[in-house]
Structure 1
Amino acid sequence: MEASGHSTGTPSNGVHTIHISDQARQAGCATLLNTIEATQHLSIDGVLVLENVIEVEHLDRLRELLQPTAEEIAQDDTHDSDFEKHPRIMDQALPTMLDFMFEDVWSNRIAVSILQSLAGPNLRCHYANANASLKAGGRQLVRNDFDKPHPVNSFAFIINIPLSDMDEENGSPELWPGSHRDSFIQQHVTLPNDEWGFAIKPALVEQRRNISPPVQPTVRKGSLIIRDIHLWHAGMPNRSDTPRTMLAFVIQPTWIHAPSKVTLPLETKALVDGWKVNSGLEYAVHWVDGDADHEEVDSDDVEYSTGNSKWPLLESLMRPTPESISSL
């Protein structure tokens, strides 16, 4: 390991990993080598792990708050699940009390600086949530997080932050490196109402498995995962007795004008405004008086699409559909 924090992913991890040095983490700035390596692997693989970028104490405090309520939430049949119920992966809102809104979690400067190198300097987060994976035997279908025609460029990135060490035993997600480079809406299943679903057609999943199989990375606490929104992935069963909580933030260039907003208490506005000064990351926020209940959340209305009126006019320029896809 070089002092700069430059490293390569290990075969056992399955996803390219860059260890960020303590010096770079404390400075809140990725080195030039970190940035070059990260942008190359995000472009090629569509996914990357940044290691040693978050204070472990911050993650421990969040886990101590969220973990006890995970089983309680799972027993509520009205509570929203993440895509499918049988893997027992439940939505769980982030706490929005000032003492729990850590900058290295909500607006990690190293991650933001790398995304700015790929997507431009003006970035906005319009989705902040968590999911709790409880002990179960089922898994999710392979999916893509965008159920509309996809632009060719990488127009959105998801930052996932596990609150504990994460591996196959406790439900590390299945990731399909490189799938983002060949992703378009006709790969998705169609629903009874003729709309597109999130799941990928099973025949295509098996085709890709034969040439580029998925991985389940081992991710250390204090790390974060960056993935392109086009990337195929699936929630996997947590075989342990301990809930595994993972945070999720969706970040896009501001020109996308995505309509979704993060609900935050008005008392946190100065803090959130300070993040923009420090890292350049802006939050799309619906401000409310009083507290926002961190045990209540519904992801059904989250919109990854755009409020940009020009976008639909460009649909014909989006990824062409190979003739072979239409018959699958």
Structure 2
Amino acid sequence: MSSGHRSIFVEPHRSPAGVRRLTEDQLDHARNLLRVEGAVILSGIVPAELVARLRDAMLADLARRERPLPTNFVSGHIQQDPPPVPELLLPEIMTNESVYAVTTSLLGSDAKNAVYSGNINLPGSGEQPVHLDEGHLWPGPTEHPPYALEVDIPLIDFTLHNGTTEYWLGTHQLNPVGWYDDSGRVSASALEERRAVRPPQRFDIPAGSAVIRDARLWHRGTVNHSSAPRPMVAMTHYCDWFETPPIVLPTAVRPWIESSPYRTSATFTDEPIDYLTSAHAFAIQ
């Protein structure tokens, strides 16, 4: 494993105004990385002050949550949505131009974001089983293009010490019969076979970057050896034809969500949104 290998990193060009945008060559490179490796990391595309605002809000929510917390596979890996309040629903994260440039280039111009959630890796967490987030559309070895791309935004710097995610690059097209259980865990024999071909990798990822990965890519959360929680935002972009429940958002953000050229599958409400219950639809035991 390595924290220094940067083959899947792309650093978008910074304009004179300080906005990061992908050049055409960078977009082509990012698209090819997703096709071949199953992941690409766009460095530093969200301004630091916005990252800090959302990080502080999520950690404040964590401190006041009722226990038990919704867990993903093992102790310490918590499913937690960012606050769905107008001042913290940020276009720079939810409808980021560089992210959508990449995802729509693979999923189609009408691709939609249908998930707005998050994960927090707590100090002393366990090691998750290697898993994929979305299954293949049909069984057997025949490959198919991506239909879902995960978009993760670290809200602090991810390091080997605080539990940066482990990625098994190139595994998004592997689909032998019997390799996955119903929750997406990869079998021990499949891991052994793949490790001999290409071991997994971990990366130091700066806060405010976007990790875009094929939802079929093998990965897992690792142990947080630090003394601080490690939060991130998690979204999923889907092909338009893939049916998903909408994200529930406050009516106050409806104008900019619906006027954006980048699609969000959402429904809107004037009622308070209960987002910190002890259960969560995405929690996996």
Same fold (TM over 0.5): yes
Query: Are 1:131 and 2:131 matched, yes or no?
Result: no
- Greater gyration radius: 1
- Closer/same/farther in 2, CA of residues 56 and 251 from structure 1, 3 Å limit: same
Q: Which residue of 2 aligns with 1:239?
A: 225
Distance 1:35 1:14, change over 3 A: closer
Task: Give the TM-score normalised by the residue count of structure 1.
Answer: 0.78
Shift of 1:102: 1.2
**Pairwise CA distance, 1:146:** 2.0
Q: 1:262 aligns to what?
A: 247
Find the residue that maps to 1:286 and give its secondary structure. strand
Q: Distance in 2 between matches of 1:122 and 1:25?
A: 29
**How far does residue 228 in structure 1 lie from its aligned partner after superposition?**
0.2
Q: 1:106 aligns with which of 94, 103, 108?
A: 94
> Which structure has the higher relative contact order (CA within 8 Å, separation 6+)?
2
- Kindly state the Cα deviation for residue 26 of structure 1 after the two structures are TM-superposed: 4.9
Tell me how far 1:141 sits from its aligned partner.
0.4
8 A contact 2:86–2:250 mirrored in 1: no
Equivalent residue for 2:35, pick from 29, 43, 50: 43
> Which residue of structure 1 lines up, in the alignment, with residue 197 of structure 2?
211
Match of 1:199 in 2: 185
SS in 1 for 2:254: helix
**Aligned equivalent of 1:319:** none
Please give the residue correspondences for 1:12-161 in structure 2 after superposition, counting only pairs within 5 Å. Answer: 12-13=4-5, 16-23=8-15, 26=18, 29-73=21-65, 76-77=67-68, 79-82=69-72, 84-86=73-75, 88-147=76-135, 149-150=137-138, 152-161=144-153
Alpha-carbon distance in 1 for matches of 2:215, 2:254: 28
Q: Structure 1 residues 40, 263: closer, same or farther in 2, change over 3 A?
A: same
- The Cα shift of 1:101 comes to 1.2
* CA positional deviation for 1:71: 4.7
User: CA separation of 1:227/1:177 partners in 2, compared to 1, >3 Å: closer, same or farther?
Assistant: same
Task: Give 1:214 deviation, angstroms.
Answer: 0.5
SS in 1 for 2:231: strand
Match of residue 322 from structure 1: none
Change (3 A) 1:286 1:182: same
TM-score (norm 2): 0.90
What residue identity is the alignment partner of 1:85? V
The question of whether the paired residues in 2 share the 8 Å contact of 1:91 and 1:298 is answered with no
Shift of 1:247: 0.8
Structure 1 residue ranges without an equivalent (≥5): 1-9, 190-195, 303-328
| Residue identity opposite 1:162 in structure 2 | P
Deviation of 1:259 (Å): 2.4
SS in 2 for 1:200: coil
Deviation by residue 1:199-233 (Cα, 9 ceiling, x = unmatched) = 01111011111111111111011211000011001
Instruction: Name the aligned partner's letter for residue 146 of structure 1.
Output: E
Quick one: structure 1 residues 44 and 147, their matched pair in 2 at CA, closer, same or farther if it must change by over 3 Å?
Answer: closer
Give me the whole-angstrom Cα distance separating, in 1, the residues matched to 2:130 and 2:119: 17
RMSD: 2.3
Gaps of 5+ in 2: none
Percent identity at matched positions?
A: 21
Quick check: which one's helix share is greater?
1
Distance 2:162 2:62 in 1: 14
Distance 1:11 1:71, change over 3 A: closer
2:174 to 157, 182, 186: 182
Once residues 45 and 222 of structure 2 are traced to their aligned partners in structure 1, the CA distance between those partners, rounded to angstroms, is 25
Q: Pick the aligned partner of 1:164 from 156, 160, 179.
A: 156
Alignment deviations for residues 113-155 of structure 1 (CA, whole Å, 9 cap, x no partner) = 1122122111111111011110125201000112464472211
Q: Distance in 2 between matches of 1:24 and 1:255?
A: 38
Matched, 1:283 2:264: yes
Whether the 8 Å contact between 1:96 and 1:291 is mirrored in structure 2 is no
Aligned-residue offset at 1:295: 2.8
Rounded Cα–Cα distance in structure 1 between residues aligned with 2:116 and 2:209 = 17
Q: How many residues align?
A: 278
In structure 2, relative to structure 1, the CA distance for the partners of 1:125 and 1:70 (3 Å cut) is same
